[in-house]
Structure 1
């Protein structure tokens, strides 16, 4: 996904040193500080969770236990078996003037100790229960007796109403795989991309690594895995995201759209008003922990740590690295609005008690901005380009407008309806506009940019360092459902309710641009606009079938699509490539993502069979089953922390910290991911009804390509009969074309479905073969024959 590009291009510069003499600096220092940060963060979150009642045994249970102990003493019962009397006798006799004080104090201490022991017991039991992974190996739709018993115990020990953070303290730590297992899986993943000679040379290099550098690197990494909550996530966020100097535009940020073909209202201010209200209300629910916990496949609770930085968060640029700046909810009661290069501060709370303004009043405020004819001031119109250009520290001389933007809950971008660019239809142009804008129409440093067009359509641009796609997608689904089915709109398209004439217009932010910033702004603008023009997006709504059909084929939907993508890419480029597929590891504490490598030996055999006219459909179907089973095996390994890429990433990082260069890890880092893929999640299918409201289903989102000569592909299953693909590539690349690749994907999906008797017939197969030959010929004519890809020259990735 988008992080695939970030991981492929990250560089670590720690200076030079003598191998072996810097074991403590900076290697052990980095491991030690990572552990301290982890424990400090864990203790702070534990305190917050207890106060908010997010733990299975919250403050209410503690008060109940205290009242029960005191009541039993009043009834001359002793549930403590003499402990309270012993503690009473041990307390200093300093309260003779207050009868019963010592007894009450002893009972309070006993109740507190009992409640703490209960809390720790619940956490330990939950942590042991959540280590169970047997359900992943069971067929979908059937649960064994051990799994049913496990689910029942998890529900019992989770309390009556688990909240978003109930499981947070009980999630197990990410396991550290063995280096031998990781290297073996890596070699298996690159086997179909290498010649026999290249593979033999890489295998020899891998064996040398296992016997020389690996033991020392693994030992230090094992120390971190024991000391910190997660041995990957903090380094992943720091070195892949925050230390990257690449532009966020088209490289890191990603987008999510609303619906494919409808808008609940054509009024821009009304759509924005309902969306802002729903998002701010979701923020309040997050603060109270009232959001339903996210689960994996409806069974396994997932880590919720990323939700804490969803709102009020900004990525602050620095010289060598960025940092995340987060404001507490109570100190951020406004949003920043960007319209025609002008910035406004819109207060979201007001009136008695400082309550959240109604959607109709928010619409009224936004309409003030749309109706304001004042132009942008000099240099102000293009100021946001500084967040889109390559990362560098800017002048932060206590400017009030900058503080307002960085302290806002999120940014609203009020846009004109995107017009067609070249041959791009409106849907494609809307996706491209939400992702990159004009280069100066998004504040890319902000965690969330809500983009609302004049047509009433909208989308979300998300900064990637604070979270991965499932977290903002979870929020976005809740916002769309609340906006359409709960808040609704009046018959004239306005938000329901009445305007409030006592509420003043939003405050216009007036910038004073320092001279050095004004001088660098034109260069930043040119770079941002060039990147924006070079990004191409295409949305393919595949309506022939969806998850319902793949379920009848007894094949996981992701495996079906991934094999179709391998077939499509082979037809488009005439060869195979290293493929990146994102997979969540949030079943572990502070987990983020892992990489699945779906271009396997089995997948390549299936693709070649599809292109071999001598084979029958029965033979192709057999190979498809084998390849799909292999893909699901890789999914299970990634979900359980037994993937390849994050372990190799950390080993490489440790080797750099130790000044212990490894030729094998350097070779791994040289890989290029020419196909980066991801499945957009749907956490809350109960919020939408595709059968009765087929148009009102979130159509997912996408991201830029991980390689300048490659594709980025995201897909989402919309109900039972539709899969929507989001495809991106670089306009400047002579090898790629997002619409051509979309046609190959559609043909590949139909051809694979024909193996199961969907009835596409030989015509689709013939058309696919003809298009494949045309695609191969055009690509080869433009760049010559494609060599076998090998991990031999610099790169690596994810989203």
Structure 2
């Protein structure tokens, strides 16, 4: 499913990023262990977290006819009438004959009792593990935390983040974490196994995840000045308390010496990193254990030699920094700066955004709502100092480090990033307008793009399919005839406001309908991807896949995703094609936040148009809200 019509075409990395988990699941109130949703069975032998996994439904296979209808509707909004008729002819042939044997093979794969998801292995390989471009900037994503005024000192800040993360880790490790729910239905929790004590391992042409037993690897890794330290979490059978963790981290600040930027290898092209890793292992026998100490750690804490202040400075620091003082193959990296600001970097291959969103939202809730003990506690006098992880670097490895650092600088310098922190209103007012907040902000983005380019182009948003076994994401194709009609109407002074409002609400309805269908595993893109995977050697490629509209309609000029938290002041990643934008957004109660990334297309101008579009929608809808009679106060 490589797109070949543009210079650098990519599968959308699922923030979301992926694609990313854009459509944040609705968390139901905590259920009692005895409360079993209708139609589900619980197996408590698997622990609370995984008790519903085996009774989750499997990802469905839509019929050829319904995918054809949905696909044609999405394409109609993007192409000329002549192009559409050509596409319709190809689709009719696909439904009539060409696609039938592929559909039969896919149904057989889905029916295999040993296959929990017909999609998972294919998707993990195509979108992530087989993807060879650097994970930064193209795949991984960041969260920027709200400031903790009670813990400005970086060692205190890092210790509090570690303590809160370890409390969440305890629940994942012992299986006591309550599952997530969407509209009362339990969601797949299987990807949580790749959260802690896990690492992506580079390989020739394809990477692999490696999971390490938590009980045998009770340590985290802290990195400062590119020097890695192993910090045991248990000493003499007793867990380190928050004050002891703070002392360990403070000691690292004191003793860390500048070292070669070994971690920058993890941000290189994946094949080059696989080659460099072999050279690193060959350089000295001790390097194997040093690598294992990092890869098997619970997570990384990165103590950065930086002091970002503005939202854009923070976004740059958490998204990429200087490419060093990191190990980008780790699923979880918590980043703390010298001025106490903090954030998170997530590796995307085995988890989408929603699990790490829950982790990061939860750990900040523990800290800010005083749900864990971060008071001064006794520190044992006999605690050993954190141990530096010693690497022996050959000339070949040092050359690879220099090449990776140069490659990273070139990658980042070709990008631009802007943050639009819109303070005019947020979710509270959007709900008063009786609109879906996510659909509303998608129309803000569509209008902004239309203002900038005078047309709408293919737009990706991700929907979570974690209601199914081993579920990940499906594409929401945002652009519709309704959204295009609305963008034309609101920018045409001859169109009455009332008509623009009517078209706007029709666009919201179309978007919400597609979102619901995608979340039910009935989108277009994963189904067509799966069918194409089942072509056998020598079989003719169906005309649908050769039709230019197929590649164009999946060229994501806008790659978008939403994850919202009152504890975050930023969230983002990269665009997925060179001619496109990556727009991550948060919808908070009284504000909207957009992180805009592109390859020198005009991020600042897009930021301006997002601000303008958000104000335009408010001004369009406000007269109707003001005209509503006030509710009588009881």
Report the TM-score range of the alignment, normalised by the length of the smaller protein: 0.7 to 0.9
- Partner of 1:384 in structure 2? 263
Q: Structure 1 residue 537 and structure 2 residue 417: aligned? A: yes
- Partner of 2:20 in structure 1? none
**Which is greater in Rg?**
1
Match of 1:368 among 220, 244, 251: 251
Q: Structure 1 residue 195 and structure 2 residue 73: aligned? A: no
Deviation at residue 183 of structure 1 after TM alignment: 2.1
Q: Deviations over 1:151-207 (max 9, x none)?
A: xxx9xx899x99322221211111100122112211211212211111111211222
Q: Structure 1 residue 702 and structure 2 residue 588: aligned? A: no
Query: SS of the residue aligned with 2:419?
Result: strand
Deviation at residue 8 of structure 1 after TM alignment: 5.2
- Partner of 1:35 in structure 2? none
User: CA RMSD for the aligned pairs?
Assistant: 2.8
Query: SS of the residue aligned with 1:636?
Result: helix
Q: 1:577 to 1:418 in 2, by over 3 A?
A: farther
- Kindly indicate whether the alpha-carbon contact (under 8 Å) linking 1:293 and 1:301 is maintained by their aligned counterparts in 2: yes
Give the Cα separation in 2 of the matches to 1:221 and 1:505.
Answer: 56
- Kindly indicate whether the alpha-carbon contact (under 8 Å) linking 1:487 and 1:496 is maintained by their aligned counterparts in 2: no
Q: 1:165 to 1:373 in 2, by over 3 A?
A: closer
The aligned runs of 1:582-601 (5 Å cut-off) are: 582-601=462-481
Q: 1:467 to 1:429 in 2, by over 3 A?
A: same
Q: 1:591 to 1:666 in 2, by over 3 A?
A: farther
Whichever structure has more helix as a proportion of its residues is 1
Q: 1:714 to 1:548 in 2, by over 3 A?
A: same
Deviation at residue 210 of structure 1 after TM alignment: 2.6
- Kindly indicate whether the alpha-carbon contact (under 8 Å) linking 2:307 and 2:339 is maintained by their aligned counterparts in 1: no
Q: Structure 1 residue 552 and structure 2 residue 438: aligned? A: no
Q: Structure 1 residue 464 and structure 2 residue 348: aligned? A: yes
Deviation at residue 388 of structure 1 after TM alignment: 0.4
- Kindly indicate whether the alpha-carbon contact (under 8 Å) linking 2:227 and 2:256 is maintained by their aligned counterparts in 1: no
Give the Cα separation in 2 of the matches to 1:416 and 1:709.
Answer: 33
Match of 2:612 among 747, 750, 761: 747
Deviation at residue 212 of structure 1 after TM alignment: 3.6
- Partner of 1:432 in structure 2? 316
- Partner of 1:476 in structure 2? 360
Q: Structure 1 residue 729 and structure 2 residue 606: aligned? A: no
Q: Deviations over 1:296-348 (max 9, x none)?
A: 14x22211111111011111001110000110110121111221121111112
- Partner of 1:310 in structure 2? 195
Match of 1:445 among 323, 329, 333: 329
- Partner of 2:541 in structure 1? 661
Give the Cα separation in 2 of the matches to 1:369 and 1:473.
Answer: 28
Q: Structure 1 residue 409 and structure 2 residue 298: aligned? A: yes
Give the Cα separation in 1 of the matches to 2:537 and 2:494.
Answer: 54
The aligned runs of 1:556-571 (5 Å cut-off) are: 556-571=436-451
Deviation at residue 608 of structure 1 after TM alignment: 0.3
Q: Deviations over 1:435-459 (max 9, x none)?
A: 1111223211111111111111111
Q: 1:55 to 1:236 in 2, by over 3 A?
A: farther
- Kindly indicate whether the alpha-carbon contact (under 8 Å) linking 1:333 and 1:348 is maintained by their aligned counterparts in 2: yes
The aligned runs of 1:599-614 (5 Å cut-off) are: 599-614=479-494
The aligned runs of 1:162-201 (5 Å cut-off) are: 163-201=48-86
Give the Cα separation in 2 of the matches to 1:516 and 1:217.
Answer: 48
Query: SS of the residue aligned with 2:568?
Result: coil
Match of 2:239 among 356, 359, 367: 356
Q: 1:700 to 1:179 in 2, by over 3 A?
A: farther
Give the Cα separation in 1 of the matches to 2:623 and 2:242.
Answer: 47
Match of 1:525 among 402, 405, 430: 405
Structure 1 length-normalised TM = 0.70
Q: Which runs of 5+ in 1 are unaligned?
A: 12-53, 58-121, 131-153, 420-424, 683-695, 762-799
The aligned runs of 1:268-283 (5 Å cut-off) are: 268-283=154-169
- Count, aligned residues: 587
Q: 1:504 to 1:705 in 2, by over 3 A?
A: same
Deviation at residue 235 of structure 1 after TM alignment: 1.3
Runs of 4+ in 1 over 4 A off after TM superposition: 54-57, 487-490, 656-660, 758-761
Q: Which runs of 5+ in 2 are unaligned?
A: 13-30, 627-634
- Partner of 2:99 in structure 1? 214
Give the Cα separation in 2 of the matches to 1:625 and 1:659.
Answer: 45
Deviation at residue 649 of structure 1 after TM alignment: 1.2
- Partner of 1:258 in structure 2? 145
- Kindly indicate whether the alpha-carbon contact (under 8 Å) linking 2:576 and 2:582 is maintained by their aligned counterparts in 1: yes
Give the Cα separation in 1 of the matches to 2:573 and 2:596.
Answer: 8
